[in-house]
């Protein structure tokens, strides 16, 4: 019986990998990918990549771990995404397994329902997957770094559960916690900030060896500090005009955060509330380890969202990490509930079954849209290359290329192609980015229907 459960669990994990791999394969190079590719392609060696990142650290952002990953992928594999697609699907699957392991730490008996709850819950409520999972630059900034953070958190729980003497050389575990803590703290501003809080809580409440707790906290805090003191953060913030100052500035930021949390996480918050109330009715005490874990990840989600009040007008995708923590909190709350009663067990299985059915329908529909977008984007890149080879210039000697915009009706939450599509104005950001990549004077977008009218391009 256990072997059968293990087989079904393995099939679910393999299904996760395959589902993500297909979507990764249908995602073209987009937006900042072009900029990072061009920079990495011009690097003379690995040392140049570090020099480029040092320049960006000084002038734009402190997310050095994430952007070094981006540069390494483009340096090693260029615009061919095949290797990245496999790695990204593996990392996504590893993230699901880490989320599962952070809930079900003390049991080797696979729980298929719990895994499905996590995997399907994240599929439906993961923040901006088109930007955070499938876009190559975004995946390095969010998917890869959040998985690294969860791995560090799992390592902390693993080493601090039992006596370090039972796990080998304590000095090696201490060094491992410090080094991985530095990486986890240097990943992503708000999610890494939540990790520093996590290690601070362990430092105070854990009964494990003090050097382990100090190493984890010092590593995460040190990496986070290196990210925060980046001169580029101040340069980047100076480019954003928020229109408020003083207390009004923070009030406006708080309202934006609350709006985003409401838009992104209201279903998860209601699920968490219901499950915790149900567990309480079943007399699961607040000091139960599972209840403590649920509240811990709920707190980390709240901290990762709330600390954004210190940053000017963040992108929606920065809520990716808090969303992961909230899914873990909901899964832990579900694991607290005793489902033996017939009505509860039927209700649980019905919800999981309904989620799976909805997933299958939406997966094929969105996958079809991704395939159409991929086809049009590849055709656009070929048209751009043909226009450059033709080298037809205007009377001022400028090389202007006209390209079709994406057709309407194929947008999907699992792509950001429409959000960064070229426009009819040459001075839009995406147009200028593409013009710089191809080394032409201007790029102008032509509406898709106009482009294909009578088989001719209309200027």
- The mean pLDDT of 165-170, rounded to a whole number, is 63
Residue 348 within a domain: no
pLDDT at 111 over 70: yes
Please tell me whether residues 370 and 319 are part of one structural domain. no
Confidence bin at 51 (pLDDT 50/70/90): very high
Query: CA torsion angle for 273, 278, 281, 287 (degrees, to 10)?
Result: -70
Confidence bin at 1 (pLDDT 50/70/90): low
- The mean pLDDT of 180-185, rounded to a whole number, is 96
Average pLDDT, the chain: 90
Residues above pLDDT 70, as percent of the chain: 94
Among all chains, which residue has been given the structure tokens 């995997």?
119
pLDDT at 217 over 50: yes
Pairing of strands 400-404, 442-446: parallel
> Looking at residue 107, what is its pLDDT?
63
Give the residue among 388, 430, 426 at the shortest CA–CA distance from 406. Answer: 430
Residue 234 within a domain: yes
- The mean pLDDT of 72-77, rounded to a whole number, is 95
> Looking at residue 164, what is its pLDDT?
46
Report whether 98 contacts 168 (CB < 8 A): no
Please tell me whether residues 379 and 295 are part of one structural domain. no
Please tell me whether residues 187 and 62 are part of one structural domain. yes
Which pairs count as long-range contacts for 381-387, CB under 8 Å and 24+ apart, including other chains? 381/28, 384/434, 384/438, 384/443, 387/440
What is the pTM for the complete model shown?
Answer: 0.94
Please tell me whether residues 243 and 101 are part of one structural domain. yes
Residue 169 buriedness (CB in 10 A; 0-12 / 13-18 / 19+): exposed
pLDDT at 157 over 60: yes
- The mean pLDDT of 401-409, rounded to a whole number, is 93
pLDDT at 109 over 90: no
Q: At what angle do helices 64-77 and 82-103 cross, to 10 degrees?
A: 140
**Backbone angles phi and psi of 442, in degrees to 5:** -145, 150
Residue 317 within a domain: yes
- The mean pLDDT of 349-367, rounded to a whole number, is 96
pLDDT at 328 over 70: yes
Please tell me whether residues 321 and 449 are part of one structural domain. no
- Beta bridge mates, 446: 404
Q: What pLDDT, in 10s, does the model give residues 224-275?
A: 999 999 998 877 776 676 666 777 888 888 999 999 999 999 999 999 999 9
Residue 335 buriedness (CB in 10 A; 0-12 / 13-18 / 19+): buried
Boundary (domain end) residue, out of 338, 373, 400: 338
User: Which has more confidence, 246 or 290?
Assistant: 290
DSSP 8-state code for residue 405: P
pLDDT at 56 over 60: yes
Please tell me whether residues 104 and 61 are part of one structural domain. yes
Q: What pLDDT, in 10s, does the model give residues 9-22?
A: 999 999 999 999 99
Give the residue among 153, 227, 240, 158 at the shortest CA–CA distance from 197. Answer: 153
Please tell me whether residues 334 and 369 are part of one structural domain. no
First to last CA, the chain: 67
- The mean pLDDT of 351-368, rounded to a whole number, is 96
Residue 165 within a domain: yes
Please tell me whether residues 168 and 252 are part of one structural domain. yes
**Backbone angles phi and psi of 445, in degrees to 5:** -90, 140
| Coil, strand or helix at 412 | coil
Confidence bin at 287 (pLDDT 50/70/90): confident
Confidence bin at 165 (pLDDT 50/70/90): very low
Confidence bin at 106 (pLDDT 50/70/90): low
d(CA 238, CA 163): 49
Please tell me whether residues 95 and 171 are part of one structural domain. yes
Residue 358 within a domain: no
Boundary (domain end) residue, out of 293, 323, 338: 338
DSSP 8-state code for residue 132: I
User: Which has more confidence, 233 or 94?
Assistant: 94
pLDDT at 166 over 60: no
Residue 347 within a domain: no
pLDDT at 329 over 70: yes
> Looking at residue 312, what is its pLDDT?
77
Confidence bin at 374 (pLDDT 50/70/90): very high
pLDDT at 198 over 90: yes
Residue 45 within a domain: yes
**DSSP per position, 54-117:** HHHHHHT---HHHHHHHHHHHHHHTT--HHHHHHHHHHHHHHHHHHHHHHS-S--S--HHHHHH
CA 65 to chain centre: 14
> Looking at residue 128, what is its pLDDT?
96
Report whether 29 contacts 133 (CB < 8 A): no
DSSP 8-state code for residue 44: S
> Looking at residue 219, what is its pLDDT?
97
Boundary (domain end) residue, out of 292, 322, 338: 338
Could you give the number of structural domains in the chain?
2
Structure tokens at 64: 């050095």
Please tell me whether residues 382 and 297 are part of one structural domain. no
Give the residue among 6, 10, 271 at the shortest CA–CA distance from 124. Answer: 271
> Looking at residue 167, what is its pLDDT?
59
d(CA 442, CA 211): 58
Please tell me whether residues 140 and 256 are part of one structural domain. yes
Give the residue among 232, 139, 235 at the shortest CA–CA distance from 187. Answer: 139
Confidence bin at 168 (pLDDT 50/70/90): low
364: CB partners within 8 A, 6+ apart: none
Please tell me whether residues 299 and 419 are part of one structural domain. no
Distances 353 to 349, 356, 358, 359, 361 between C-alpha atoms, Å:
6, 5, 9, 10, 13
Full domain range(s) for residue 372: 365-455
């Amino acid at each position: 019986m256990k072997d059968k459960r293990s087989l079904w669990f393995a099939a679910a994990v393999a299904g996760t990998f395959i589902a993500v791999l297909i979507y990764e394969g249908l995602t073209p190079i987009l937006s900042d990918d072009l900029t990072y590719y061009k920079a990495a392609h011009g690097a003379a060696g690995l040392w140049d990549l570090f020099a480029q990142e040092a320049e960006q650290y000084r002038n734009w952002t402190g997310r050095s771990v994430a952007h070094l990953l981006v540069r390494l992928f483009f340096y090693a594999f260029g615009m061919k995404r095949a290797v990245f697609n496999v790695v990204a699907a593996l990392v996504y699957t590893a993230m699901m397994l880490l989320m599962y392991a952070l809930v079900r730490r003390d049991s080797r008996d696979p729980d298929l329902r719990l895994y499905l709850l996590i995997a399907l819950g994240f599929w439906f409520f993961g923040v901006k997957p088109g930007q955070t999972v499938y876009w190559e630059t975004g995946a390095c900034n969010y998917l890869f770094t959040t998985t690294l953070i969860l791995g560090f958190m799992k390592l902390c729980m693993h080493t601090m559960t039992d006596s370090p003497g039972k796990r080998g050389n304590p000095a090696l575990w201490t060094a491992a916690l410090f080094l991985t803590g530095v990486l986890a703290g240097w990943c992503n501003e708000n999610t890494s900030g939540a990790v520093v809080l996590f290690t601070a809580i362990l430092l105070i409440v854990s009964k494990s060896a003090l050097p382990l707790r100090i190493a984890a906290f010092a590593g995460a805090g040190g990496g986070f500090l290196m990210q925060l003191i980046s001169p580029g953060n101040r340069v980047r913030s100076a480019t954003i005009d928020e229109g408020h100052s003083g207390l009004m500035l923070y009030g406006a930021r708080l309202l934006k955060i609350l709006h985003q949390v409401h838009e992104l996480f209201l279903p998860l918050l209601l699920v968490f509330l219901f499950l915790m109330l149900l567990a309480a009715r079943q007399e699961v005490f607040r000091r139960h380890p599972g209840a403590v874990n649920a509240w811990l990840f709920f707190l980390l989600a709240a901290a990762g969202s709330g600390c954004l009040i210190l940053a000017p007008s963040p992108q929606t995708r920065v809520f990716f990490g808090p969303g992961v923590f909230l899914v873990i909190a909901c899964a832990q709350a579900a694991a607290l509930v005793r489902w033996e009663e017939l009505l509860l067990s039927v209700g649980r299985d019905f919800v999981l079954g309904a989620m799976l059915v909805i997933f299958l329908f939406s997966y094929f529909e969105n996958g079809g849209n991704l395939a159409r977008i991929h086809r049009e984007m590849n055709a656009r890149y070929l048209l751009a290359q043909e226009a450059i080879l033709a080298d037809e210039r205007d009377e001022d000697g400028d090389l202007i290329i006209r390209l079709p915009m994406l057709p309407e009706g194929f947008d999907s939450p699992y792509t950001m192609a429409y959000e960064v599509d070229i426009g009819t104005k040459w001075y839009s950001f995406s147009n200028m980015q593409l013009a710089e990549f191809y080394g032409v004077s201007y790029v102008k977008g032509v509406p898709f229907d106009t482009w294909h009218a009578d088989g001719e391009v209309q200027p």
